[in-house]
Amino acid sequence: MKKKAIITAAGMATRFAASVGREVHKLLYRESAAPCLLERQLTLLAAAGFTSVTVVGGYRFDEMRAFINSGSPNWDADMVHLVHNRHFLDYGCAYSFITGIQTVDGDEEQIVLLEGDLAFDAETFLSISSGGDVISFSPDPIRADRSVALGIDGRNRVFYAFDGCHRSLTVPDGFTFLANSGQVWGLADADLLLRLAWEYPSDRYRGSGLDLVSEYYNRRDGGQVRLAGFRRWLNCNTVEEYRKIVSWEEAP
């Protein structure tokens, strides 16, 4: 099966840098021999059989390019295509999504889109990347200060709720499913995804891009979309959370 992964990795991650006490790229930060977040994701993707990975960079772009060019015993640098989101300061995650999706060839049988600052269990990820349309959710409670809420309404339509100010979330009155989004998506129709990306209105580039994701699934056959719940999942926003992820590796 031909499949491609897209990792969004352009943001400045000011909360993470503040927790470290200096400017760093969150995805490249590491302590002692522990792997950085990007290393973890690329290692998992290589193990899952991905031979094509697009990384959308922006902040400290040269550092990311040097890291990828150096390669790793766990993944081949030739499998990674780094693209530059030059608008990482003035646009939102939506523009990173668009930038990454526009590298899709169109003949892939599955695209896996994921945010670069996530850590999760390999078993669930392997299920997501095994093919088809898949929406992930995490075991964490929904909190407005750190969550993206994933829901399915009474008409079986997917929706997301997110507040960039981290104050409150608004969801429809009626829903059949509600969870904390896992921010990893499996998408089986490359043509539809490309079309939505090219048609995406430029006045929404400053947004989260979650409307593009929900529009994709709502144009697909809802009966064929799988929900996949991570057993272990963390969106890394502080150095303390990075150390928690490292402790997963060290646990017996």
Residue 152 domain-assigned?
no
Residue 170 lies in a domain: no
| pLDDT (tens digit per residue) in 139-170 | 999 998 888 999 999 899 999 998 877 789 88
pLDDT for res 46: 96
- Nearest-10 crossing angle of helices 93-101, 190-199: 130
Q: Rounded to the nearest 5°, which phi and psi values hold at 75?
A: -155, 155
pLDDT of 214 strictly over 70? yes
**pLDDT for position 216:** 97
Q: What is the CATH number of the domain that holds 75?
A: 3.90.550.10
Q: What is the pLDDT of residues 36-64, one digit of tens each?
A: 999 999 999 999 999 999 999 999 999 99
Residue 94 lies in a domain: yes
How many structural domains compose the chain? Answer: 1
Q: Per the domain annotation, does 171 fall within a domain? A: no
Tokens of residue 195, six digits: 């079309």
Residue 98 has pLDDT above 60, yes or no: yes
173 assigned to some structural domain: no
Q: What angle do CA 237, 62, 236 make, to 5 degrees?
A: 10
In a domain, 27, yes or no: yes
Q: Which range of residues forms the domain containing residue 126? A: 3-137+182-250
- Please write the tens of the pLDDT for every residue from 71-82: 999 999 999 999
Is the pTM higher than 0.75? The answer reads yes
CB 135 within 8 A of CB 189: no
